[in-house]
Structure formats: structure tokens, C-alpha cells
Structure 1
Amino acid sequence: MAQGQLNNSTKTRKRNFSEHSRSSYAKRQKLLQHRASLPIASVEKLLVKEVQKHDTLIIVGETGSGKSTQLPQFLYNAGFCGNGKLVGVTQPRRVGTLSVAKRVAEECDVVLGEKVGYSIRFEDVTSTSTRIKYMTDGLLLREALLDPYLSRYAVIIVDEAHERTVHTDVLLGLLKSVQNARSKFGNNDKQLEKENAAQCFGFRKHFQGRSPLKLIIMSASLDAQMFSQYFGGARAVHIQGRQFPVDVLYTYHPQQNYLDASLTTIFQIHLEEDPGDILVFLTGQEEIESGERLIKERLKQLPENSKKLLVVPIFSSLPSERQMRVLVPAPPGFRKVILATNIAETSVTIPGIKYVIDPGFVKARFYDPNKRLESLTVIPISKAQALQRSGRAGREGPGKCFRLYPENDFEKLEDSPKPEIKRCSLSNIILQLKALGVDDVIGFDFIEKPSRQSFVKSLEELILLGALTDEFKLSNPVGRHMACLPLDPIYSKALILSSEFNCLEEMLIAVAMLSVKSLFYISSEKLDEVRTVYKCFESPEGDHLTLINVYRASNEVFKKWSTLRTEDNYKIFRKWCKENLIDSGSLRHAHDIHSQLRRSVEQMGLRVASCGDDLLQFRRCLAAAFFCNVALKQPNGKYRTLANDPMNDIQIHPCSSLFQGKPECIVFDELVVTNKPYLRNATIIDYLWLAELAPQMYSLEN
């Protein structure tokens, strides 16, 4: 009997293995068929020849052409990764980097991190065998600090260049100089002795015969002329996308309430149109959450057979694990409606979309260098963005795009969005350029130069922080240490100072927690519930101390899981997070960031000490580092900043532990404007500390 059971068990295992093999084979065949059907597949040889002939190539690939996933594989197969070289591909966003790398690893039938890997801030999934490396553009900039000529790379592909993020623009200027240096000096060591190739940046290192760098700029924009001119008339190649026809429908009149108009259109499609998922472009988390709630309320009023509508949100502060849910197909019989910010325009390719709803607006960040104020402003999209949005409906078959504005309003839109470098703080970029040896940052070869005022204000800030000398040189060691840390300058300075205040451990925790934007997934409808749960963590002295309390409270369950990574320990950790309304993936990320930052500061020779439960020194250190971000209470209970161009009547953010308390003087993490100006992440300080700890900006007299 026992033998019979054993034989049956063996047969079952064999059958299961056989079924798994068939399933894997079928999946593999489907992937191969999909790759062969992509428009870029028919021009593989042509593209490889173009890259071989030209050191710089502009590739304009329409949505759905397959350029992001296929071109790196073509170059690998053509032998560009000989002698251990890499094909590097930059993306503007973390979620895009991760999703494309996963897809390519799947197509190559390899474990992610081997032949195909990715690197994003605080997360490196690569190895010595990696040959195709996806990364954020900011990470490649940081890599240049250690390897000024990016000598590991045979080819660098700058993908989604049309998005014009600040890091993309700086990276283009950097790569242009790297390419000139590598092309000029190649293997000519005698010439190298006479003339140092590093002068392109101001470095004083020998180049030692690197091979020329192949540079590919990829854009979904139909106008490649600007990129081509910037790179001296570089060759441009257009790849036809697998774009099915998309019917674009306009409204007769502008919509007063575009959220309500979007909801009406969603249900019109759901009840009247053929099967297919819906993608709706909204401007931010609050709008998306409100839309999700209203859709669910309206679904209750429909007949049972019309309720099969699945709502999936995606926005940047949503934890990565939740963002990836948009890629999961809807259950059989259901229609998926995705409520998205502009993150879905190009960064994430979502399968199954047949209908797009475009209200015509986007939320953009604008930085005022005088007030040190970052505002989130809803503005009309550009024509390029409108075309990107409509294109999402024609990826897998004919689609429809419902533009909730009249056609003559479309004609009035700007051709392209304003580049981020013209509307953001330049402090971090200037610090990185200085570390790369670029002394004349104003004269740097930007594709579009920011305003002189932005440069001046950022240089002033870096001098106040001690990162630059009065002669605008990188200070030693403070400035060099700050440039080595992958953080905003103010956070870097806080870590360096905290070593002197004997609270580096606490500052590491605070900075790690602040670096994870989606740690607390706070829904606007659950704000009261969130406040109740957080009472046990709240510090009466402020939000930075509250973050330390959360980290310390999670430390025991996290260490238990990270030391012994069993399923039971992971369940305990996730249960703790769920009970405390904390995203487990984000908290895990914060712990990882803490570990990496700790290693970095130890390598710098900083002493990691803890101030324990006496956090007075920690608050004094915050005052010493965040002295540019100080606000005083006014007689009306609101706050006035102490920046060069002060702002009045600002409120502490409702999520803050200090929202009800109204202390006299605070330091804050950031000043943002949504519907009104708010101070985020605030902690109490004594204003008398400022003259002592930041004499470069304050005196007892003022």
C-alpha cells in the first residue's frame, strides 16, 4: 500500500512538473511571438548598422514601437558588450526603470540582476555578469563621480529624453563632454601625455585609452531637431510605432468640473462601448482618491450585471508594489479603469487600454528661488502630452480618446512642456557639477539654460550650507562629503553636522524616513483614523522625532525578519505595518536606505553615535542644518518664514503632529503650495539657537 502511494506521489510530481514545463514553454513562445511582432523587429539590422556608423544617434520611436525593451538586446546580440562592457539605459522615473528591466530579463529568460539588471537610488540589482543595465538618469550622474568617463559603458541610451527632467538635461551635457573626451583621445596615449582629456570637466586624471562612447538619445516626441542640433547635427532615425487608429473626440464647450466630466465619460464608456480598459488622466493623489470613491459610490446604483468595473489608481507617491497593480489584467468579465497622473503618459506601458479620457490638465512643480517655495500648480498640458495620452489608446487595437475640451483649445496649447530645469531648485545639480569638476556651472553646456537668478540663489544656499567656499569652489571636506551622498544638500549637511552633535544615528533614521515619500499611505478620507493610530508614535516636539519613534518601534520586528528571513517573520512584520497603517514595502525601503547611508558616513570617517532618548541635541542639530527653513508664529496663529523673501500666513500641514499645538518657532522639511501654502515635517526649536548655530545667517540683533 505504501509503495502504491509512493508511486502515485511520484506520478503526481511528474505530472505537475510536466504541466509546469508546458506552461513555461507556452509563455516563452508567446513572448517570442510578441517580440517578433513589434515594429522595431523589422529594422533590427538597420539600427545596429546606424549605431556602428554613428557615435551619436537620435531615435524617435512612436509609442508601442518596442524601442525601450528591444534596442538594448539588439546591441547586446551585435557584440557591443565585448570585454565586459555594458549597454546602459537611463529612464526618468524609478517605476519605469524597474518595470522595463523586469520585462527585458523575462524576455532574455534570465534572473533579474544577472545579464539584465537595474539601479535606482538606494537599490542596486546588478552583478559582475550584468551587461544590460537600466537605471534612473540621476543614478548615472552619480556614477560619473566615481568614473568620470563612464568607462564601463560601450553604449549609453538616454530613453524618454522628451520628458526633459532636470537630471536628463544635465546628463545630456555631461555625456556630450564624456563622448568628446573619449572620441578625442581614444587609444592615443602620447597625445594624452601632452593634453589631459579630463580638462573637459576640470578633472586631473589620466584617461588611459578608453574606447569611444556610443550615445543614443531616444524620444517619443516627433520633433528630434532640438536634440540633433545640440549634438552637432546628429543623425536622426524614425521608427514607426504599432499605432492603431485612435478616434479623438472633443467636447463642444470647456468643462467647468473636469473630474465630474471624467466620471460621466467613464460610465458612458462602461455602459455603451465595447470591452476594453479605460485610462483616465487626473492631476494628483487627492483627485484620484476622490474619483475612486465617487466611482465606487455610483457603481452601487447600477444593476448587478453592470457593476464589473475595477478601479486601479497610480500616482508617484503610491508605493511601488501598488503601482505595479496597474499591469495586472482585470478578472474575466471585468473592465479596468485606471486613474493616473502623467506618470502613465510614457513611463509605464499599461496593457489592455482601449479608451483614454484626457481632461487636458497636469500638476507641475514650480520653484521660487527667492522664497525657497515649491508650488504644485495645475496647468494645461502641451500638445506633445496630449498626443502621448491619445496614443495610449492605440497600442493593441483601434481605440478612442475623449478630450474633455474643445478642439480649438487644443490648437492653443504649447507645443511642449516647460523643461523641469527651468522650474526647479538647482542646488543639488550645482553640487554634483562642482564635484564633477565643472567650475563654471553657469557656462555649462545645457540644452536649455536656466535663469541666472536660479543659479545665483542656489549658489548662495550652497555657500550658506558650507558646501561651497566664497570663491564658489567645492569646500573640503564638507562639500565633497555632501556631494558623495545621494541626497538633497540640506539632508547631506544634516548628516555631517550630526556627527558633531553626537546624534548621527537619529539623523540617519530621520533622513531615511524622509527619503521614502509613501511611507504613510494617507488617504484623505481616512485622515482621522490615521491620526488616532499615530498617537502612539507622536512626539510633542515634532515630526522628525515622530519618524524616529516609528522607526524604533518597527526595529524589533524588522530585524527579526531581516536576520531570519522566514515566511512567519515576514508575516509578523507585515501584520505590524498593517495595524499601524504603514506601507510595509516603503518601511522596508527606509530600513535599507538607513543601512546604506550608515555605510556611506562610516566610510567618510564620521562617528555614528546615538543621543538615546534625550533628543535635545538632535533638535539643535536640525536647527543648525535646516536654518534656511525656519518659521515663526504670527499673532494670528499662522507662520512667517525667515527666508530672504519671507512668506506670511502659512499653516503647518494637517498631517503634522504640531498641527494643533502652534509652537513659537519651528524648522520644517519643505514649504509647498497646493490649494494653500503648507509647512511639511516640522519640529520645535528655540529661536535663540539660530544666532549660535547659524551665525552666517542670523544674529541676536535680528
Structure 2
Amino acid sequence: MPSMATQNFRTSNGNFQNEAKFDPTRRQKIKEQRKSLPIAAVEKRLVEEVKNNDTLIIVGETGSGKTTQLPQYLYYGGFCREGGVIGITQPRRVAAVSVAKRVAEECGVAVGQKVGYAIRFEDVTSSSTMIKYMTDGLLLREALLDPYLSKYSVIIVDEAHERTVHTDVLLGLLKSVKEKRSKFANKALNINNANSLKNGLQEVAEHDGPGSTFLKPCHGKRLSPLKLIIMSASLDARGFSEYFGGARAVHIQGRQYPVDLLYTLQPETDYVDAALITIFQIHLEERDGDILVFLTGQEEIESVERLIHERLRQLPEGNRKLLTCPIFSSLPSEKQNKVFRLAPPGVRKVILATNIAETSVTIPGIRYVIDPGVVKARTYDPDTGIESLDIVKTSKAQALQRSGRAGREAPGKCYRLYPESEFGKFEDSTTPEIKRCDLSNVILVLKALGIDDIAGFDFIDKPNRISIIRSLESLFLLGALAEDGKLTDPIGQQMAKLPLEPVFSKALILASQFNCLEEMLIVIAMLSVESIFYAPREKLEESRTALKCFSSPEGDHLTLINVYRASVEFLEKSRLTNNNEKAEKNLRTWCKENFINSRSLSHARDVHR
């Protein structure tokens, strides 16, 4: 297959240029890695399948290469010849960014040119981008501006088995978009003059009935049929196939070596401590190979990372060669990259990950997996209107995905920190998120698309009717919906355009009226990230004392403002006598002394900007 780096491409100004050149040795290694992927054996077949089917379900295990390779196959297969973009959605920001960077490297181009990514608050694309990775929520937002998604020739919904709320809504939207684009393309074949073209567009736009604003025509744009690909790591593709009218499903054989499953005799009362003990048991007793530990969130990951370093200092020098590599959604991308690099000779890596490592990313070198059998999941009580992130048991499907990480490159072991009898009590699969979350944001987006009959929307799994009613009531109370159920103007329209939870959107709109916009921006930025404070179990009293320095009797929101402003003041003073790098390092030290999560604070600063 030719490389993007060795071909000429037309730039936005019509000229041709060569893309960036990369180290030949590195490029040869990448070429060999790509050839060894299971998907490479079926490249031509997959391209033909996409050409022959407007909707295709692709099932392939994590590590098969489907996420990185298929968009490239389609690019070289001619699916971008008429200027169309290949869009790939991911449920997680980390995956969208890391995969885009990998594909750009494989293609020999700078990220943001032919290959780019877009996530909330960060768009690394250009007019020349032909392969675009993005979160599923971001593509939903794009539909508000371009309901036909007319710039895309192919849309790939990756990790569809995770069934996030955005994925489920996106599937329903894309199903309708695909049908309408196909209908318009068929009509356009018989159109010979401009008036007929206008009439053809009008017929498609009015398909949903009088007054519908859903999928209004994009005047001046030539619409071709949309190729839709649903990719899943789950072996059961029947649900997706049936939803898309019996769509064809293709299975890609993966690589899987034997994995020994080891269970505890009794349930663990403290799975974090049990995971820590197991890490050192593997490190000191097992042969070479990296360790992957599943934890529920950033706070747990950073706590375990600190405890590992403390215990390593107590070991003899020769036993300290253990490199910790955390990975979670809010971790800066440059630190995420550490996970994918090979450890130095003689050093073992221990990757501390959330469930992002189940299927979204493939990490090389894993031989051992530690699975506590828990995950942090969204839950929603429609009676109280309260949504929360709770630690719950994984499903059998999740446990299977986790154990499979140990057998990608060689035989491995999976340490399940629960008895085998407990595994039998797990649910077979994870409950779709749309059945257990607040639907206010989803309904706001659908309303903005002109879809007023929420209960009648073609969801792959219908959400709870009570949840729909409560969310509609919430939006009405926020002033986003009028009595007829349509978006209010301007409040509802403005709220729908903001990529925030509805309550945050309304707060920002009101803040500008009450002359406290800056304070509200800080509050929302701080509430949009993982916990700002951390309280190590061994230093609870010290952390509580530190918190008192920022606490406000008026409430937590003002406390968050105090923390943010204190950090900004400290950073500005530090920059007076230090360069930016040193000042940032000093800020991290200040955060540690005050039991503030420096990564969360840094992320909040990015959101605030």
C-alpha cells in the first residue's frame, strides 16, 4: 500500500505539495507492524464489502487493527476522491486523540493535516483533513450545523458495543441521515435542471411531515449516499444488524493466546489494597511482561501510583525496576503516550487504567491483567432527578474483554480479585447507558435537530419513559422548552449550541445578565473535571486542614473559585522569577502541598480558556 507521505496532495489553495518525511527506519518498522495485523489479511475484501453495502457491521477483537487500518484502506480505495471525509467516532477522548496520532504517523503526515482529530474544546483538523477521528458527542454537535453531515462520504461508529448514550443517539440519527441521503441521490439521478433539483431537495426535506426542521437541505451541496460502518469488539452483531434492517456483518479473526484465569478464594473487602498486593506479587515472582490494572477512576489510579512508589522505596535496589503508567480520560495526551512506549530493558511497566483499556486502546507488552471486577458507571434516579457515578460490578462481557488483554502477544494470566462463584452472578452484558442516565442533554440536541417526538425517535433500545418525562420537565423548568415542547427562542436555542450540560448552559446565560460571567466560567470549568481535591487515606487529617484554607461558608462553588484564583495568583507570581516550565512545576508542588489534584486543575484551566 502506498504511503500518504510519498504521494502528492492538493492543498486548500489548489497547489500540490509533499507531506512531512519521517525516519525511514521507524517507517519500515511501522510498515511491518501493519502487515502483521489480523485485518491486513482481509483488506481487499473489506474495501469491496464497503463498496457493495451502504451499511456494514464489522466485528473484530481489540488488537485486530480495525480502528487504525480500515480508514486508511478506504482512503486508498477511493472513498475520498470527490472530497468526502472519512469520519470515525470514538466514545472516549483519549482514544480519539491517541488513534489519530498513530494513524498520522503510519501515513507519514503531521497530525491535523490529512489525518486529524476533534474533541470537545480541541479541534486539530484542517481543510485538507480526509481522515477525522472524533468523539461521538462531537459528531452530534456537527449535525446541528450540517444535518445531512454532507462533508462525510463514510462514517465509522467505532466501539459501538459500549452503547454510550451518545452512541445510541448517533446510531438513530445516522440511520435517518443515510436513508435520506440515499433517497436524494436516487432522485438526483433523474433530475436534469435546477428547478427539478430544488424540488427533489424539498421532497426529501419534507419527508418527516409539515413543519419538520430535521435534515433540512444543504443548498449548494452535492449529496451522495452515505456509507455507514458500525464496528464492535463484541462477538454478537445480531442486534446491530437487525436494527439496520438486516445489514451485512463481517467478522475479523483476532489473535488470542491462552489466558489463565485466577480467582480469589474469598471476596476482597478492599480491592485497591488487593490490587496493590497482586502487583508486587507478579513483579517479584512472575517472568517478564507488563501488568495492566483496571481501576475505577483518576483518584484511585493516582492513589495506587503513590502507594507503588512508596513500597518500591522499601525494596532492594534490584527489585525497583517497575515503571508506573496511568491512563484515564483527563490525562494530558503527552502523558498518555507513555503507556504505548516500550519500557527500557529490564524494566517492567504497570499500567493503571480505567475501563478505557478494555477495548478502546491496544497497549503492547501486556502479559498480566488484574481485574477487581468493578467499574464506575452513570446511574440516574428519575424520581429524585439525581444522576451519579457509582462503583458497580462489571458484566461478564467486560470481564472477558479485560482478561483478553493478557493474551494479545503471548500466553498470559488474569488475576480476578473475586471468587469464581461471584463471576456467575454478573450480568451477561452492560446495560446501555441510555437506560441509566439523565436524558436532558440528549433531548436538547434532538429538539435542536427538529425531532420533537422524543418517545417516537428510533432508538436501538428505548429509554425509560419516566426518564424522558423527567428530563422534559427539567428542560421546561430551565426555560429551554416552551409549553408546546419546542425550543424557546433565544434561551433554548442558545442552550442547545453550548457543549455543556443544560443546567451549566443556563447558568452561563444567566451569569452574563447578572454580571458574574467570569465566576460562573470558573465554577463550570472546575465542575467539568475529575475531583479537584484528593484525600489519601493515610493523610486524611492533613488534607482536611488544607481544604479549610480555601473553604467558603457560602458553599462549595465559592470554594472552587477560591482554589482556582489562588492557583492563578501563585502561578503569576512564580512566572515573575521563573520561566513557564519552572513555574508550572512549582504549581504542581503547590498543588501537592495543598492536596489539590494538579491534573484536574490543569484540565480545568484548559476548559476555562
Shift of 1:58: 0.4
- Among 203, 210, 219, the residue aligned to 1:195: 203
> Equivalents in 1 of 2:302, 2:573: separation in Å?
35
> Equivalents in 1 of 2:253, 2:573: separation in Å?
53
Match of 1:62 in 2: 61
Match of 2:14 in 1: none
Match of 2:288 in 1: 275
Amino acid at match of 2:79: F
Task: Name the larger-Rg structure.
Answer: 1
Shift of 1:38: 0.6
Amino acid at match of 1:69: T
Match of 1:631 in 2: none
Match of 2:465 in 1: 452
Match of 2:255 in 1: 242
Match of 1:575 in 2: 586
Match of 1:182 in 2: 181
Q: Secondary structure at the match of 2:405?
A: helix
Contact 2:183 2:204 in 1 (8 A): no
Shift of 1:44: 0.8
Shift of 1:457: 0.5
Q: Secondary structure at the match of 1:84?
A: coil
- What's the CA shift string for 1:492-547, capped at 9, x where partnerless? 10111122212223323332333233655665555655566666655443333344
Match of 2:427 in 1: 414
Shift of 1:423: 0.7
Q: Secondary structure at the match of 1:58?
A: strand
Amino acid at match of 2:351: I
Contact 1:253 1:406 in 2 (8 A): yes
Written as runs of structure 1 = structure 2, the 5 A alignment for 1:117-196 is 117-186=116-185, 188=188, 189=197, 192=200, 195-196=203-204
1:495 aligns with 2:495: no
Comparing 586-595 with 121-130, which one deviates more in the overlay? Answer: 586-595
Written as runs of structure 1 = structure 2, the 5 A alignment for 1:583-598 is 587=601, 589-595=603-609
Contact 1:118 1:124 in 2 (8 A): yes
CA pair 338-158 structure 1, distance change in 2 beyond 3 A:
same
Amino acid at match of 2:556: D
> Equivalents in 1 of 2:313, 2:31: separation in Å?
42
Match of 1:205 in 2: 216
Match of 2:558 in 1: 545
Shift of 1:294: 4.8
CA pair 362-510 structure 1, distance change in 2 beyond 3 A:
closer
Amino acid at match of 1:96: A
Amino acid at match of 1:548: I
Q: Secondary structure at the match of 1:79?
A: helix
Written as runs of structure 1 = structure 2, the 5 A alignment for 1:445-524 is 445-517=458-530, 523=536
CA pair 525-153 structure 1, distance change in 2 beyond 3 A:
farther
Contact 1:64 1:242 in 2 (8 A): yes
Written as runs of structure 1 = structure 2, the 5 A alignment for 1:37-76 is 37-76=36-75
Count matched residues: 573
Match of 2:237 in 1: 224
1:104 aligns with 2:115: no
Contact 2:22 2:108 in 1 (8 A): no
Comparing 270-279 with 569-578, which one deviates more in the overlay? Answer: 569-578
Contact 1:254 1:405 in 2 (8 A): yes
Match of 2:362 in 1: 349
CA RMSD of aligned residues (A): 3.0
The unaligned stretches of length 5 or more in structure 1 are 1-20, 596-702
Match of 1:441 in 2: 454
Contact 1:61 1:67 in 2 (8 A): yes
Q: Percent identical across equivalent pairs?
A: 69
CA pair 22-273 structure 1, distance change in 2 beyond 3 A:
farther
CA pair 362-552 structure 1, distance change in 2 beyond 3 A:
closer
Contact 1:185 1:197 in 2 (8 A): no
> Equivalents in 1 of 2:591, 2:250: separation in Å?
53
Comparing 257-266 with 154-163, which one deviates more in the overlay? Answer: 257-266
Contact 2:298 2:530 in 1 (8 A): no
- What's the CA shift string for 1:19-40, capped at 9, x where partnerless? xx99922111111111111111
Contact 1:560 1:569 in 2 (8 A): no
- What's the CA shift string for 1:450-499, capped at 9, x where partnerless? 11110011100000000001221111110000000000001110111122
Contact 1:317 1:518 in 2 (8 A): no
Shift of 1:322: 4.3
CA pair 541-252 structure 1, distance change in 2 beyond 3 A:
closer
The unaligned stretches of length 5 or more in structure 2 are 1-19, 189-196
CA pair 586-84 structure 1, distance change in 2 beyond 3 A:
farther
> Equivalents in 1 of 2:597, 2:337: separation in Å?
15
Q: Secondary structure at the match of 1:83?
A: coil
Contact 2:148 2:215 in 1 (8 A): no
Amino acid at match of 2:491: V
Match of 1:668 in 2: none
Amino acid at match of 1:514: L
Shift of 1:379: 2.7
> Equivalents in 1 of 2:168, 2:530: separation in Å?
24
> Equivalents in 2 of 1:561, 1:102: separation in Å?
33
> Equivalents in 1 of 2:300, 2:600: separation in Å?
22
1:26 aligns with 2:39: no
> Equivalents in 2 of 1:260, 1:553: separation in Å?
34
Shift of 1:557: 8.3
Written as runs of structure 1 = structure 2, the 5 A alignment for 1:415-430 is 415-430=428-443
> Equivalents in 1 of 2:400, 2:264: separation in Å?
17
Amino acid at match of 2:67: S
Contact 1:40 1:70 in 2 (8 A): yes
Contact 2:330 2:603 in 1 (8 A): no
> Equivalents in 1 of 2:170, 2:452: separation in Å?
17
Amino acid at match of 1:468: L
Contact 1:198 1:207 in 2 (8 A): no
> Equivalents in 2 of 1:118, 1:332: separation in Å?
33
Contact 1:539 1:546 in 2 (8 A): yes
CA pair 512-281 structure 1, distance change in 2 beyond 3 A:
closer
CA pair 557-145 structure 1, distance change in 2 beyond 3 A:
farther
Shift of 1:262: 3.2
- What's the CA shift string for 1:76-134, capped at 9, x where partnerless? 11111123211000000111111111111111111111111111111111111111111
CA pair 509-267 structure 1, distance change in 2 beyond 3 A:
closer
CA pair 272-560 structure 1, distance change in 2 beyond 3 A:
closer
Contact 2:146 2:218 in 1 (8 A): no
> Equivalents in 2 of 1:481, 1:79: separation in Å?
39
Contact 2:291 2:351 in 1 (8 A): yes
Q: Secondary structure at the match of 1:31?
A: helix
Comparing 434-443 with 585-594, which one deviates more in the overlay? Answer: 585-594
- What's the CA shift string for 1:228-271, capped at 9, x where partnerless? 00000000000011222323334455445544443443333223
Shift of 1:351: 1.7
> Equivalents in 2 of 1:570, 1:84: separation in Å?
42
